[in-house]
């Protein structure tokens, strides 16, 4: 299994904040914990919660658990920030958590002759050609593409790391189970694309 990427690209949902601390309140998805603390993905940022800043409130959550969090942001950069947590509420009725968990892993388009795969780990979408990384994107989920067009279903916007904050692609999740995922291209000409899960 390919490694988990935890530092992510700017989605343009936060104002540029250069100094001090800012309060934050919103929905996020738990990524992972390590010796130094834990990571969340929220509003287009990877948020790092240090062990002495409330990380214990996240430590027992499953990967990609949806949480509503409150706290103070600091060390705000283009792609990440530190978060001092004041409260965490587990969200039990989030519309996207289960699908995000099913999406984790490596996928290959059905019928694709080229050795092309995508790896989805956490909120990272990485494209590989012959096992070499080509592009890496941050995923943002909701019910609308970045242009504001609302759709019925789970919409996935992809934002290329290191690029401007405009979305590079918009997909809708049509279907997913243990072995198959069907995505519908909402911003291009691919239509519905079926992917098969690849063995680890």
Domains in the chain: ranges and CATH: 22-90 (2.40.50.140), 98-197 (2.40.128.280)
CA distance 157 to 166: 10
Q: Are 187 and 137 in contact (CB under 8 A)?
A: no
**Token representation of residue 55:** 């990380």
Contacts of 164 (CB under 8 A, 6+ apart): none
CA distance 165 to 12: 5
Answering whether pTM is above 0.75, one says: yes
Show pLDDT as tens, one digit a residue, over the chain (200 residues): 333 333 333 333 333 344 468 999 999 999 999 999 999 998 777 899 999 999 999 989 999 999 999 999 999 876 678 999 999 999 999 999 999 999 999 999 998 878 899 999 999 999 999 989 999 998 989 999 988 999 999 999 998 887 766 778 999 999 999 999 999 999 988 899 999 999 97
């Amino acid at each position: 299994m390919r490694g988990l990427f935890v530092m992510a690209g700017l989605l343009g949902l936060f104002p540029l904040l250069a100094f001090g601390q800012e309060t934050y309140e919103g929905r996020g998805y738990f990524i992972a914990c390590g010796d130094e603390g834990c990571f969340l993905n929220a509003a287009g940022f990877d948020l790092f919660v240090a062990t002495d800043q409330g990380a214990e409130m996240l430590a027992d959550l499953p990967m990609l658990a949806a949480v509503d969090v409150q706290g103070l942001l600091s060390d705000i950069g283009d792609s990440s920030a530190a978060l001092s947590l004041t409260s965490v509420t587990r969200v039990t009725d989030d519309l996207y958590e289960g699908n995000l968990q099913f999406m984790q892993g490596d996928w290959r388009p059905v019928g694709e002759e080229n050795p092309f795969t995508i790896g989805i780990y956490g909120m990272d979408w990485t494209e590989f050609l012959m096992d070499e990384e080509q592009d890496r994107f941050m995923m943002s989920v909701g019910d609308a593409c970045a242009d504001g067009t609302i759709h019925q279903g789970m919409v996935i916007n992809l934002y290329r790391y290191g690029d401007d904050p405009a979305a590079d692609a918009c997909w809708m999740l049509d279907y997913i189970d243990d072995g198959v995922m069907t995505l519908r291209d909402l911003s291009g000409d691919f239509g519905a694309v079926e992917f098969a899960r690849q063995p680890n």
